[in-house]
Amino acid sequence: MAHVPRHEFVPRWEKPHAYENRPLSIGQGQTISQPYIVAAMTQMLHPRPDMRVLEIGTGCGYQAAVLAEVVAEVWSIERIPELAEAAAARLKRLGYGNIHVKTADGSTGWPEHAPYDGILVTAAGREIPTALIDQLAPGGRMVIPVGIGRYEQVLTLVTKNKDEEVREERGLPVAFVPLITEQKT
């Protein structure tokens, strides 16, 4: 994380606060995650240099950059085009050649590059999208905030073993913006 210049990921008015351990506003009603939570989620994935990881909710691209420092390849999906385009340009300018960003509803994943060794969701959903479970490789790990409302979310670890059995473990309480999906629930 010391390699990633967090001040490059926030708007000008937030730059004085870039290295504080808290989320900050990035515009469009969205936030850059708190560094502690970025670290915790990255660690829960058990990152390895050969891993291929999917992220849902690019935002400013900070979590994607932290992942790109420790895994082989990152695919990241953002539903707001302005944020996706700004993040892609920023990551390119900072020299991250191993991050691929697209604008889409990430709850259906990115099937073209599946399966993923790790999936990291940085917005909170009511439930775990089945498309993401399908796109997780055997032996893979997914970290996703699950819950309704800002103060009732739990960071959940989903693991798929070699026999494709899926397990869920509930961890830290967190407060993410909502995962907005096209599908009606």
The residue from 6, 44, 54, 57 that contacts ligand SAH (CB under 6 A) is 57
Q: Which stretch binds ligand SAH (CB under 6 A): 90-98, 111-119, 149-157, 172-180?
A: 172-180
99-103 and 73-78 beta bridge pairing: parallel
76 as an active site residue: the answer is no
Residue corresponding to tokens 């994935």: 45
Secondary structure E strands in 91-165: 99-103, 116-121, 136-146, 153-160
Handedness of CA 37, 139, 117, 135 (dihedral sign): negative
Q: Which of 4, 6, 10, 31 binds ligand SAH (CB under 6 A)?
A: 31
10 binds ligand SAH (CB under 6 A): no
Among 6, 52, 79, 141, binds ligand SAH (CB under 6 A): 79
* Cα gap 94→57, rounded to integer Å: 19
Binding mask 86-115 for ligand SAH (x = CB under 6 A): -------------------xxx--------
Cα angle for residues 17, 19, 14 (degrees, 5° grid):
25
**Which one of 11-19, 24-32, 93-101, 149-157 is the stretch in contact with ligand SAH (CB under 6 A)?**
24-32
Active site residues: 33
